[in-house]
Structure 1
Amino acid sequence: MVLEELVFRLNDREYKNWLKAGRCLLILKEGLHPSINQQMRAFHGDLLNQNSLLRKPCHTSSCKASRNKLSSTCSPCTEWQKVILRHHRQPDATVNWDNCFPPSWRTDHWELAKAYMPRGQGKVKGAHQCDASALLNLINYCDCFLSVDGKLVREVIRYRNELMHSCELRVKDEWMRHYQTTLKKFVRQFRHIPQMATAGQQIDEMLSADFSIWVSGVDQMDSVDVEGLESDSVSKG
């Protein structure tokens, strides 16, 4: 009985949709992080070149955030705070200062990047350690990514949140069609980047893959045929 229930679950079409959609987020992250890291490094360098105060070290080496508010910041760290807010695409949004170690803003471009990310990024040391959500939020909030359609980024974030908050870990075929269309449009904006071109191909392959599970002696059939999605089946051994 337990084996049959497991096979039934693994071959449930909407559960397979959920697995595929999640895997696409991992592929997207792998495609995004090299170029995002490079762009943030260049952005950080531009800020330093434009503002001499930003090049000065923290006066105390102990400026920090407390309860998501910066306290006792010296003049260079205060200037960094102003610059971060000035380059925020949505100034009214919450800035998660707890992510950052202000004395490192001068020397570490990723400490700057974390100011534009969701909470919980404090221990993350680089783009390669971020999930898709963190990178998408960075693109959404930092104006060094103005070339990317903000509305489209937010749409991908919304699909990511719906996927992660699915209480049954299942999504319908219609949801998958819209998700696939949105991902394709998003990836297309980075088509000049080799890693993203590869990610786009891998996402297409993932969404068309057959995730059917076959176990000898157990019958299970799931063969709903929906245009744009595969038809899955498992036969008895």
Structure 2
Amino acid sequence: MVYEELERRLNDGGYMNWVKAGQCLSLLRDGLLPFTTQHARAFHGDLLNHNTQLKKPCQTSACKPEGNKVIRFRNELMHSCKLHVGDDWMRHFSTSLTKLLQQLGGVPQIATAGKHIKEMLSVDLSIYVSGLDRMDSAALDGLESDSVLHWEISPVLIGQWEVQLLQESLQESLHAADDDAKPKDPEQLKRLGGFLQANRDLGLRFSAELQAINSLHASE
């Protein structure tokens, strides 16, 4: 089987939770983007129309951004040293996410994202990678047939979700945000490097990042 290593990783429930939560946040981001962009532009346009002074460049340091106060669940997920989140964390995450989606349920893009997020939270990704069909996975999980994923899911797609999440985590660990001025987390980098080396497929995929991590450790 081509995806033996991916299947092995997803058989770890905590790692599968990590991948699922990351994909849920990606779906939420895609659903929120049109809504937030439209309202932010309208809000800023209204501010400029009522206060022309805002159109002038700021000449003091008071306008320098202080950095994102980024969302707690998202931070905990991306900075998880073990790339692993437990079932209790997932339950709290699911509850918070559901409340947010309910508040914004009138927005079409968010309503669509909410359906996919609900399905993602209930699905067992390891079953899809192992080759069982969707009806088998529903029976094993005790799910009703109408709660099974509505989009086509495959090991290739799951692998893409994993790679995207790892890529984002690596970028954040290797490059401190310009407006945050926080030092790189050596423990996070060490664990990420060890994880990539322990998984040959990911080590090959992220060879450049792994080399950068090893170089940083060598310079310490």
Give the distance between the partners of 1:53 and 1:209, measured in 2 at CA.
52
2:146 is equivalent to residue 166 of structure 1: no
Do the aligned residues in 2 keep the contact of 1:18 with 1:169 (CA within 8 Å)?
Answer: yes
Percent same amino acid among aligned pairs? 51
Aligned to 2:65: 95
Aligned to 2:57: 77
Normalised by the length of structure 2, the TM-score is 0.52
Aligned to 2:25: 25
Aligned to 1:205: 119
Q: Letter of the aligned partner of 1:170 in structure 2?
A: H
Listed one character per residue, the Cα deviations across residues 32-67 of structure 1 (whole Å, up to 9, x for unaligned) are 000110011101111111112334xxxxxxxxxxxx
Q: Letter of the aligned partner of 1:167 in structure 2?
A: C
Aligned to 2:48: 48
Distance 1:31 1:81, change over 3 A: farther
Do the aligned residues in 2 keep the contact of 1:54 with 1:79 (CA within 8 Å)?
Answer: no
Do the aligned residues in 2 keep the contact of 1:54 with 1:80 (CA within 8 Å)?
Answer: no
Q: CA-atom RMSD, angstroms?
A: 3.3
Listed one character per residue, the Cα deviations across residues 151-179 of structure 1 (whole Å, up to 9, x for unaligned) are xxxxxx11111111111211111110110
Q: Give the gaps of 5 or more residues in structure 2.
A: 132-140, 143-147, 149-220
Distance 1:78 1:172, change over 3 A: same
After the TM superposition, which residues 120-199 of structure 1 pair with which residues of structure 2 at under 5 Å, given as runs?
137=70, 157-199=71-113
- Larger helix percent: 2
Distance 1:186 1:6, change over 3 A: closer
Which structure is larger by alpha-carbon Rg, 1 or 2? Answer: 1
Normalised by the length of structure 1, the TM-score is 0.48
Do the aligned residues in 2 keep the contact of 1:190 with 1:196 (CA within 8 Å)?
Answer: yes
Q: Give the gaps of 5 or more residues in structure 1.
A: 56-75, 86-93, 97-116, 119-135, 138-156, 216-224, 231-237
Give the distance between the partners of 1:5 and 1:20, measured in 2 at CA.
17
Deviation at 1:4, TM superposition (A): 6.8
Aligned to 2:13: 13
Listed one character per residue, the Cα deviations across residues 86-138 of structure 1 (whole Å, up to 9, x for unaligned) are xxxxxxxx724xxxxxxxxxxxxxxxxxxxx64xxxxxxxxxxxxxxxxx95x
